[in-house]
A and B are shown apart, each in its own frame.
Chain A
Amino acid sequence: MTPRQRLVLLGLAALVLMPAVMRIALALPAFGAPEAELGQAMNALVPGLRHVTNMVAAVNFDLRGIDTLGEEGMLLCAVTGTTVLLRGARGESGRERAGHLPGRPVTPRADATVLVCRIAATLTLLFGLSVALHGMTTPGGGFQGGVIVASGLLLLYLGEGYEGWRALIPPPVLAVLEGGGAVLFVLCAGLPLLAGHPALQNLLPLGEPKDLYSGGLMVVVNAAVALSVTGSFGLLLVEFLEETREPADDPVPEDTLPEDPLPDEAER
């Protein structure tokens, strides 16, 4: 199919669908006046029932916890797939030097950049930890804390460069964090089942509202998600940045070699 045919097909589909879409858009409840009752019921009941003040965390980690378990599984699958795809084609040797495009000038990193990045990375990592820990009381939680920690790792990369960064961040630790978080989540869901309760039943003492420990089992689930998200995104960053390292004489695994060596590989 040529691009032109594709565009015509898309235009036709849009022409057919547009009246229906417009009708639905204008028939939805007006913006700012929703008709759904579930969320408002949760807002009214959950602070008393679960002793937490952040409703979003309560929905994520308790009321719709099984949903989050599914999302966690998707995260695990996506990250595992990415790692296998990239690492499988690259081989496991860890060359420490960053790659370089011929003809591109290399500007040395200024001392000020290194200093600012070290300070900002420390603060970002601490902020991420705090956001993850205070998930039950104020906006935050495992998902946000995990991605903020990962963006702190990025600042470290900016300041230290590829070689220094790789020395700081061990991929096996990140993989263990990722898998361990997922296992902890499954245990939180499964152990109540063994005791004859529904999955993710909140059996721990609930604690005081507005306290660091509030919400019982939710604290454990939150920690599991925080570990898993930190590990996942850290691993993604490591794997993608490893793609940019110096490629020369990397042993390629046997089965990915084509039958005949590539012509340009033969002359190297």
Chain B
Amino acid sequence: MSALSLLDALPWLVAVWLFAVGLYGIATSRHCVHLVGCLTVCQSATYVLLLGIGYVRGAGPPVFYDHPPGTPAVDPVVQALVLTDIVVGAAVSALLLALAIQVQKRRGTLDPQALRPLRPPPSSLE
């Protein structure tokens, strides 16, 4: 019973794993661009969780072009959520990457450890 329930929970465990691994990457990252990559792994955890929740065993996709309406189909609501999230998430990653480029141009480093907040850039200190 325990093994079976573990198998039934595999998608949730994978989602937890992806989120935890992404968080570990963010906490230990030494490069801002690497950090953004880890953030996308965290995002992919939500995709796996949502699509896993909507999946119905033995059902088809929620598109009734070839199958008549009424054939078993998976949940379309979570798919719509994930669909928009992927596109918007990519745009947000682009925003973070643009910030990383600006950090490099102003500070000359991308190591989060070396960045100190609220101080004029070292080039203007002289």
A interface residue numbers (CB < 8 A to B): 3, 6-7, 9-10, 14, 21, 24-26, 28-34, 36, 38-40, 42-44, 47-48, 53-56, 58-60, 64, 67-68, 71, 74-75, 78-79, 81-82, 85-86, 89, 137-139, 143-144, 146-147, 210, 229, 232-233, 236, 239-240, 243, 258-260, 262-263
Q: Are B87 and A56 neighbours in the complex by a CB distance under 8 Å?
A: no
Which residues of B (53-93) have their CB < 8 Å from a CB of A? 53-58, 61-65, 69-70, 73-80, 83-88, 90-92
A31-B12, A55-B64 known, 10 other contacts, Cβ within 8 Å: A24-B12, A29-B53, A39-B74, A44-B70, A53-B63, A67-B84, A74-B88, A138-B63, A139-B61, A143-B87
Selected from A25, A33, A44, A89, the residue in CB contact (under 8 A) with B69 is A44
Residues of B within 8 A of A40 (CB): 75
Q: How close is A240's CB to chain B, nearest CB, in angstroms? A: 7
Number of interface residues of B (CB under 8 A): 59
Main secondary structure of the interface of A (DSSP, over half): helix
Q: State the CA gap A24–B53 with chains docked (Å).
A: 13
Q: A7-B27, A64-B80 are in contact. Are A30 and B5 (CB under 8 A)?
A: yes
Are B80 and A56 within 8 A (Cβ)? yes
B54 and A34: CB pair below 8 A? yes
Please give the distance in Å from A120's CB to the nearest CB on chain B. 21
The interface residues of chain B lying within 8 Å CB-to-CB of A6 are 27-28
> Which residue of chain B has its CB nearest to the CB of A43?
B73
| Chain B residues, CB < 8 A from A239 | 98
Choose among B8, B20, B52, B95 the residue that contacts A14 (Cβ–Cβ < 8 A): B20
Closest Cβ neighbor of B26 among chain A residues: A10
Contact of B84 among A25, A68, A139 (CB under 8 A): A68
Q: Given the interface contacts A21-B16, A31-B9, A43-B73, does A53 sit within 8 Å of B87 by beta carbon?
A: no
Partner of A26, one of B9, B55, B76: B9
Q: If the complex has contacts A7-B28, A10-B27, A78-B94, are A42 and B9 also in contact, measured as CB distance less than 8 A?
A: no
Contacts of A78 in B (CB 8 A): 88, 91-92, 94-95
| A13 CB → nearest B CB, Å | 9
The CB with the most chain A CB atoms within 10 A, among B30, B83, B124, is that of B83
* Contact of A47 with B101 in the complex, beta carbons under 8 Å: no
Interface code B1-24, partner A: CB below 8 Å = 1, 0 otherwise? 000011011111100100010011
Residues in chain A near residue B126, CB distance under 8 A: 260
CB atoms of A71 and B88 under 8 A apart: yes
Q: Is B115's beta carbon under 8 Å from chain A?
A: no
Among B76, B79, B90, B124, the residue within 8 A (CB) of A260 is: B124
What residues on A are CB-neighbors of B92 within 8 Å?
A: 74, 78
Whether A75 contacts B73 by the Cβ 8 Å rule is no
Going nearest first, the 4 A-B pairs with the smallest beta carbon separation are A39-B75, A32-B57, A55-B76, A55-B62
Nearest-CB distance from A68 to chain B (Å)?
6
Residue of B12, B54, B98 with most chain A CB atoms under a 10 A cut-off: B98
